[in-house]
């Protein structure tokens, strides 16, 4: 009997966290491992996830290249019907369903979060983004109270447990890491550690701030494709690919779905 698709939902109400870029890279990485991956872009207006994969499909057609590519679609509330049905349809036959939600709070996003097996919230390494989850004392940098997004996820996790008894593994990803202000990074890390114990999420490193990600978008390429297209891979690109490997490992996805003879990310 085939296992149900593992749903990975990327959600953050604040824009600019690298959410869509990270979602695309995770989806392509899993597809490159030989898994059947479906992707759903729920941001009908901006549609960064979908456009990224459109660009990827276009370069494959234009240059006759065979690249790992998820099956994907865009959710349109006016045309696609209830989000629950659309998620079910996209998950059918897949090993993984990667969902990229819009940077806002709405009922469809809350529903998607409540169906997640793994919920990924990328945040920039700053107190501005951290404020989404909890408020920090300006003098001591200790967490004073939980914020609205933590409460939203708490409600979604309760809904999931009530519906089918399953849990939502919440992963907060420190994305766009920069190494300019070590003291600030330590303070953010300490606050996240305190919050993680109170709220129940895991913290993992994400992708650093690198120009390469902006350069790859128009062609729909990822870090995993550079060698395949014959592009020289410098030390910075090798480091970035190492970050991606660590990111996928940090998600702690079901190993039976990930470990195959072709799991090595080139």
Q: How many structural domains comprise the chain?
A: 1
- Distance of alpha carbon 263 from alpha carbon 48, whole angstroms: 27
Q: What is the pTM of this model?
A: 0.90
Residue recorded with tokens 């902006």 = 214
pLDDT in tens, 83-126: 999 999 999 999 999 999 998 889 999 999 999 999 999 998 78
Q: Write down the H helix ranges in the chain.
A: 19-32, 48-63, 83-91, 107-114, 127-130, 148-164, 182-199, 211-216, 235-250, 255-258
We report the CATH number of the domain holding residue 222 as: 3.40.50.300
Residue 253 maps to a domain: no
CB atoms within 10 A of CB 212: 16
**Per-residue model confidence (pLDDT) at position 187:** 85
Coil/strand/helix, residue 219 = helix
**Per-residue model confidence (pLDDT) at position 60:** 93
Closest CA to 62 of 74, 54, 52: 54
Residue 241 maps to a domain: yes
- Distance of alpha carbon 59 from alpha carbon 217, whole angstroms: 11
Residue 144 predicted with pLDDT over 90: no
**Residues forming a β-bridge with 204:** 173
Residue recorded with tokens 């940077």 = 103
Residue 222 maps to a domain: yes
- Distance of alpha carbon 74 from alpha carbon 128, whole angstroms: 30
Cα–Cα distance list, 239 to 44, 198, 212, 243, 253 (Å) = 33, 33, 12, 6, 22
CB atoms within 10 A of CB 27: 30
- Asked if residues 134 and 146 have their Cβ atoms less than 8 Å apart, the reply is yes
Residue 63 maps to a domain: yes
Residue 259 maps to a domain: no
Closest CA to 205 of 254, 243, 259: 243
Contacts of 108 (CB under 8 A, 6+ apart): 42, 75, 77, 83
Query: What's the mean pLDDT when you consider all of the chain?
Result: 86
pLDDT in tens, 204-250: 988 886 677 788 899 898 888 876 666 665 666 777 788 889 999 99
- Distance of alpha carbon 57 from alpha carbon 265, whole angstroms: 20
Q: Which domain holds residue 96?
A: 6-248
Residue 266 maps to a domain: no
Residue 254 maps to a domain: no
Residue 256 maps to a domain: no
- Asked if residues 176 and 209 have their Cβ atoms less than 8 Å apart, the reply is yes
**Per-residue model confidence (pLDDT) at position 172:** 95
């Amino acid at each position: 009997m085939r296992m149900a698709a593992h749903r990975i939902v990327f959600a953050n109400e604040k824009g600019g966290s690298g959410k869509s870029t990270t979602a695309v890279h995770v989806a392509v990485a899993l597809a490159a491992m030989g898994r059947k991956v479906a992707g759903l872009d729920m941001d009908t207006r901006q549609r960064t996830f979908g456009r990224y994969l459109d660009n990827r499909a276009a370069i494959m057609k234009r240059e006759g290249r065979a690249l790992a590519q998820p099956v994907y679609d865009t959710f349109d509330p006016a045309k696609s019907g209830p989000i629950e049905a659309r998620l079910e349809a996209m998950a059918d036959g897949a090993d993984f369903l990667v969902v990229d939600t819009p940077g806002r709070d709405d009922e469809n996003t809350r529903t998607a979060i409540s169906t997640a097996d793994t919920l990924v919230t990328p945040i920039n390494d700053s107190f501005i983004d951290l404020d989404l989850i909890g408020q920090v004392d300006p003098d001591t940098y200790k967490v004073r109270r939980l914020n609205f997004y933590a409460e939203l996820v708490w409600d979604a996790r309760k809904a999931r447990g009530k519906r089918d008894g399953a849990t939502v593994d919440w992963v907060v990803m420190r994305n766009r890491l920069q190494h300019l202000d070590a003291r600030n990074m330590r303070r953010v890390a300490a606050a996240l550690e305190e919050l993680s114990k109170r709220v129940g999420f895991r913290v993992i490193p994400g992708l650093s701030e690198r120009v390469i990600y902006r350069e790859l978008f128009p062609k729909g390429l990822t870090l995993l494709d550079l060698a395949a297209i014959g592009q020289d891979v410098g030390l910075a690109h090798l480091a970035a690919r190492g970050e991606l490997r660590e990111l996928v490992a940090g998600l702690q996805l079901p190993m039976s779905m990930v470990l195959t003879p072709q799991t090595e990310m080139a």
